[in-house]
Amino acid sequence: MQFIKVNPQHEKFIAVIELNRPKELNALNRELMLEIRDTLRELDEDDNVRVIILTGGQKVFAAGADIKQMASATAIDMLNIDQFSTWDGIKKTKKPIIAAVSGFALGGGCELAMTCDMIVASDTAKFGQPEIKIGTMPGAGGTQRLTRAMGKVQAMELVLTGKFISAEEALAGGLINKIVPVELLLDETLKLARLIAAQSPVAVKLAKEAVNNAFNSTLDEGLIFERKNFYLTFASADQKEGMAAFVEKRVPDFKGK
Ligand code: DAK
């Protein structure tokens, strides 16, 4: 991997992907996005991985798509390259992905964080969709996911002005899960990851799918979908183990079966 670092066993059941283009502030070129897509596909199939953390390290998450790479592209180039269709691969990942964000998460960087399932941010994090300042607009989910997370007026302000918001503003707006000191970013994200990794991987997958389905369905459709996934958990050994462990007053040992 040229533009990311991957540790599939950072610790038991937890993989860490780190963006690694520091000189370009982790700008998301096509090759980097393909590396993320391929890595997520592998980790999703790896039984030793239950939770994935995606981070840019302590300095910067990602300053957006690589402007230099796309500056002279035509619309047809963009259509043909369709670099951001690789993001559909991220969305298809069944295991939970937590973004650990520090410094700038701008444009495609903010969209990448929002494509993840949760966001832990350091106190230095800055979020924004500044595409408007370079004569374009968000193209990888910014107008949709930001609006769903923060509501119309907040999303409209960020998308139309290109202004950045602080971690505090992102927390108040419902964009992120929590703020942690920058030097503890990975440690605190790992704490959240461990809580999830201790649960039944089967139930986690089904629950993630049901939460995401809330964005694509009416309430009634979503409730039916949820109920079916709930019933499905009863086909797993993990459900039997979880409920037996409760009755026997012990910690469950989930196997993902
Ligand atoms: N792309 C390429 N290089 C970047 C970059 C970017 N997005 N952001 C920063 N860099 C590079 C700078 O050019 C500089 O390189 P050198 O000059 O040293 O060679 C180096 O990183 C350090 O940057 P600065 O010197 O500017 O550092 P500062 O601390 O002064 O400023 C900054 C940091 C993040 C405020 C500033 O760099 C900045 O404004 N960066 C651009 C932020 C931005 O506009 N982001 C949105 C990009 S557009 C698509 C869907 C979506 C998208 C594209 C396609 N499809 C569906 C196909 C998404 C588009 C975007 O994200």
Q: What is the pLDDT of residues 116-172, one digit of tens each?
A: 999 999 999 999 999 999 999 999 999 999 999 999 999 999 999 999 999 999 999
Per-residue pLDDT at 87 exceeds 90:
no
How far is the C-alpha of 195 from the C-alpha of 193, rounded, in Å?
Answer: 5
Q: What share of the chain is helix, strand, coil (3-state, %, to 5)?
A: 50, 20, 30
Q: Tokens for 92, please give them.
A: 């298809």
Set out the domains of the chain in order of their start, with CATH numbers. 4-197 (3.90.226.10), 201-248 (1.10.12.10)
Closest ligand 1 atom to the C-alpha of 65? 61
* Catalytic site includes residue 56: no
pLDDT-derived band of residue 82, with 50, 70 and 90 as boundaries?
confident
- Helices then strands, counting H and E runs in the chain, come out as 12, 9
* Catalytic site includes residue 113: no
Average pLDDT over residues 21-30: 96
Q: How many CB atoms lie within 10 A of CB 158?
A: 27
Spell out the residues 6+ positions from residue 50 whose beta carbon is closer than 8 angstroms to its own: 13, 14, 95, 196, 197, 201, 204, 256
Query: 80 in helix, strand or coil?
Result: helix
Closest ligand 1 atom to the C-alpha of 78? 57
175 Cα to the center of ligand 1, angstroms: 22
Pocket test for ligand 1, best of 28, 67, 114 (most atoms within 8 A of CB): 67
pTM of the model: 0.97
In the predicted model, what is the mean pLDDT of the chain?
Answer: 96
